[in-house]
Copies of this chain bind each other. A is one copy, B any other.
Amino acid sequence: MNHFTSIKDVPNLQNLLQSAFEVKRSPFADTNLGFGRTLGLIFFNPSLRTRLSTQKAAQNLGLNAIVLNINEDGWKIETEDGVIMDGDKAEHIKDAAAVIGGYCDIIGIRSFATFKDRAKDYQDFVQSQFQKYAGVPIVSLESATRHPLQSFADLITIEEHKTTAKPKVVLTWAPHPKALPQAVANSFTEWMKVADVDLTITHPKGYELASEFSDGVKVEYDQTKAFEGADFVYAKNWSSYSDYGKVLHKELDWTVSADKMALTNNAKFMHCLPVRRNVVVADDVIDSANSLVLEQAKNRVVSVQTVLKGMLEGMI
């Protein structure tokens, strides 16, 4: 594995899943694999699960993790090419990436969509600059368009809890007070298309995902209909792609409630967290026995440890 930034970097998903289940069974099987290696974790944005789970996975692999909140700990980063840097940005991203690549064997990067320029967001600009200039494998810790370590953990969780060969998985849009990126929804869709599931996406009109993600996926604008027969309900808010970054719908009629969950095939409830309770999902759903949100969070250690292990094995 060279980089890990999307499902496209996974040559064989079944093999990756098998590796994940081994990692979960024996988390300390490779405690010397990372000896003398350094993992740089570069955060342009906040992180709780990703930060903790990745540090824990690194420790399990004997890998030295160094965390950098780059804009606060380091210098404000310029991302425009060819610019005369006489403003408030002290370091160019191409220099920062190359320098960090000189210190680290693997770099993880979190850089959210900024909603200023859709084309630039959808090039995953910051992450791609690191891919271009760092000279070492890059792991996405959530980019503008994708969150593959989350999607991989989600898939592990579904595999562990499915009771039929091809479960019905519903990705439902849910309300949120702020404009959020499409990354989790894009990425979940992308992984589910390759996995052995029957995927339906439901959202209000105007919230269609970019066609590179939604192509070939069933979209049902009636949330109630979408929930019928679902084995897994994955809730997530995202802002509009077509009217880029806009919040078109704030009413709580799309909140995942116990009434709606009653329409499903006793579906498991999923969310990547953090979650706005009683906006995205009602307390009684997320706190129910059918909620998998903590299983998903725990599997974040498994997904990232599996990916890092694969990269380290490729370096020996």
Given that A48-B96, A73-B46 are contacting pairs, would A56 and B103 also be in contact in the complex, using a CB cutoff of 8 Å?
yes
Given that A86-B177, A95-B273 are contacting pairs, would A70 and B48 also be in contact in the complex, using a CB cutoff of 8 Å?
yes
List CB contacts (< 8 Å) of A258-316 with chain B. Answer: 273-279, 283, 286, 293-294, 297-298, 301
Chain B residue contacts of A53, Cβ below 8 A:
103
A216 within 8 A of B: no
Give which listed residue, B38, B49, B72, contacts A99 with CB less than 8 A: B49
Interface residues on A, range: 35 or more
In the complex, the answer to whether A102 meets B294 with C-beta atoms within 8 Å is yes
A278 to chain B, nearest CB (A): 4
A214 within 8 A of B: no
A40 within 8 A of B: yes
Chain B residue contacts of A11, Cβ below 8 A:
none
In the complex, the answer to whether B51 meets A84 with C-beta atoms within 8 Å is no
Give which listed residue, B52, B64, B96, B293, contacts A66 with CB less than 8 A: B52
In the complex, the answer to whether B28 meets A36 with C-beta atoms within 8 Å is yes
In the complex, the answer to whether B75 meets A66 with C-beta atoms within 8 Å is no
In the complex, the answer to whether A64 meets B70 with C-beta atoms within 8 Å is no
Chain B residue contacts of A275, Cβ below 8 A:
91-92, 95
A59 within 8 A of B: yes
CA–CA, A49 to B55, complex, Å?
20
A257 within 8 A of B: no
In the complex, the answer to whether B86 meets A273 with C-beta atoms within 8 Å is no
A161 to chain B, nearest CB (A): 16
A183 within 8 A of B: no
CA–CA, A283 to B85, complex, Å?
11
Interface residues as binary, A46-72 with B (CB distance below 8 Å gives 1, 0 otherwise): 111101110110011000101011101
List CB contacts (< 8 Å) of A68-95 with chain B. Answer: 68-70, 72-75, 78, 82-87, 90-92, 95
A7 within 8 A of B: no
CA–CA, A301 to B46, complex, Å?
28
Chain B residue contacts of A43, Cβ below 8 A:
73
A100 within 8 A of B: yes
Interface residues, chain A, CB within 8 Å of chain B?
Answer: 27-28, 31, 36, 38, 40, 43, 46-49, 51-53, 55-56, 59-60, 64, 66, 68-70, 72-75, 78, 82-87, 90-92, 95-96, 98-100, 102-104, 177, 252, 273-279, 283, 286, 293-294, 297-298, 301
* Selected A-B contacts with CB under 8 Å, 30 pairs: A27-B36, A36-B60, A38-B56, A38-B59, A40-B52, A43-B73, A48-B91, A49-B99, A51-B68, A51-B73, A52-B66, A52-B68, A52-B99, A52-B100, A52-B103, A53-B103, A56-B64, A75-B274, A78-B277, A85-B276, A85-B277, A86-B276, A91-B273, A91-B275, A92-B274, A92-B277, A95-B275, A96-B274, A99-B273, A103-B298
Nearest first, the 7 closest Cβ-Cβ pairs linking A and B are A91-B274, A48-B74, A85-B276, A86-B177, A102-B298, A84-B278, A59-B64
